[in-house]
Amino acid sequence: MLKIFKDSDKVLRVKATPVAIPLSIEDETLALAMFQHIKESQDPELSKKYGLRAGVGLAAPQVGVSKQIIIIHIPQGDKTNYTYVLANPVITSSSVRRTYLRGGEACLSVDENHPGPVYRYHKIKVSAYDILSKSQIEINAFGYEAIVLQHEIDHLNGILFYDRIDPENRRKYPDAIVI
Ligand SMILES: [Zn+2]
């Protein structure tokens, strides 16, 4: 079980350092522990036992380590989960079209509710080192998966979702897709 740092902690507000490739044992152990934490948070029995909030993603700064490692683990019903364990992710292209979650975003590091649309790119291309396959990959993501990836990559730059809540954006992106 990993300690989750909160938005009052400075580590959530600084730029994270890229990790060396191939990963050191220490970095790989951290990434796999983060993956395990997110999987357990989604298990009803374990999350109750340990008092975990369920999450679909986690970034290393959220566990107190200022390094560029993120985890995405989105259950897809009876299909294979949407899972990525990544180092040094970079958004290499993005759509003009924006999207946002109707109910707003939430974060394991933020206890309060921050309602309001968080505008994200609807489609993105991400280049990253995939820790599970030990190779450099390109990810094409859109919609919810793209939102989660952008939320986690923001953590590597010291940005929290509520920094992006701006009622004025509604006028800037009138054709944003609501999910
Ligand atoms: Zn978060």
Options 1.10.1040.10, 3.40.50.11270, 3.90.45.10, 2.60.120.10; CATH for 10-178 is 3.90.45.10
Distance 132 CA to ligand 1 centre (A): 22
Global pTM reads 0.96
Distance 170 CA to ligand 1 centre (A): 22
Along the 179 residues of the chain, how does pLDDT read in single tens digits?
A: 899 999 999 999 999 999 999 999 999 999 999 999 999 999 999 888 888 888 999 999 999 999 999 999 998 877 788 999 999 999 999 999 999 999 999 999 999 999 999 999 999 999 999 999 999 999 999 999 999 999 999 999 999 999 999 877 878 898 999 99
**Closest C-alpha to 95, from 163, 143, 35:** 143
- Give the amino acid at 165: I
Q: What are the boundaries of each domain within the chain?
A: 10-178
**Cα 77 to ligand 1 centroid, rounded to whole Å:** 23
Ligand 1 center to residue 135 CA distance, Å? 25
Q: What is the pLDDT of residue 138?
A: 98
How confident is the model at residue 53, as a pLDDT? 86
For ligand 1, the distance from its centroid to the CA atom of residue 162, given in whole angstroms, is 10
At 78 the pLDDT is: 73
Active site positions, annotated? 152
Element at 138 (helix H, strand E): strand 135-142
What does 3-45 look like in DSSP terms, one character per residue?
Answer: PPPPTTSGGGGSPPBPPPSSPPHHHHHHHHHHHHHHHHHTSHH
